[in-house]
């Protein structure tokens, strides 16, 4: 069973700003994880994030695209079986994780 995927407005802008070939790879990866976005400890594909100074990302998950250097950070709404994409970006100096923390706080994800 597939979960519903929802993008924050900023995350839509993130993906729209990528090269079309990269965008296709990102969407394909999200579709794969969408089938079971739960944490790996629960049999899913999700990689849980935690409290890493200076940002606390507890409760959020990531998808790593190593060959692209891109990270997708998402939140789960388990009761609604919804996967909310918070940020899509390049993992340079953990900027993508700081932005994920900012957006989570802004949107109460």
Dist CA 30 CA 71 (whole Å): 11
Residues 6+ apart with CB under 8 A from 95: 89
Contact 7, 15 (CB under 8 A): yes
Residues 6+ apart with CB under 8 A from 29: 63, 65, 72
CA distances from residue 101 to 22, 43, 79, 87 in whole angstroms, order as listed = 24, 25, 22, 9
Q: Which two tokens stand for residue 29?
A: 């990866």
Dist CA 37 CA 61 (whole Å): 9
Q: Which two tokens stand for residue 7?
A: 């993008």
109 — pLDDT class (breaks 50, 70, 90): low
pTM above 0.95, yes or no: no
Residues 6+ apart with CB under 8 A from 9: none
Domains of the chain listed by start with CATH number: 4-107 (3.30.2310.20)
6 pLDDT above the threshold of 90: yes
**Predicted confidence (pLDDT) per residue in 29-76, tens digit:** 999 999 999 999 999 998 999 887 678 899 999 999 988 989 999 999
């Amino acid at each position: 069973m597939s979960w519903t995927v929802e993008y924050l407005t900023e995350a839509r802008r993130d993906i729209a700003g990528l090269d079309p070939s990269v965008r296709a790879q990102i969407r394909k990866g999200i579709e794969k994880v969408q089938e079971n976005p739960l944490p790996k400890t629960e049999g899913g594909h999700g990689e849980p994030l935690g409290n890493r100074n200076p940002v606390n990302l507890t409760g959020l998950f990531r998808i790593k695209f190593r060959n692209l250097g891109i990270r997708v950070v998402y939140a789960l709404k388990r009761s609604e079986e919804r996967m909310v994409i918070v940020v899509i970006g390049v993992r340079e100096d953990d900027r993508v994780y700081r932005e994920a923390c900012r957006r989570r706080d802004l949107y109460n994800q």
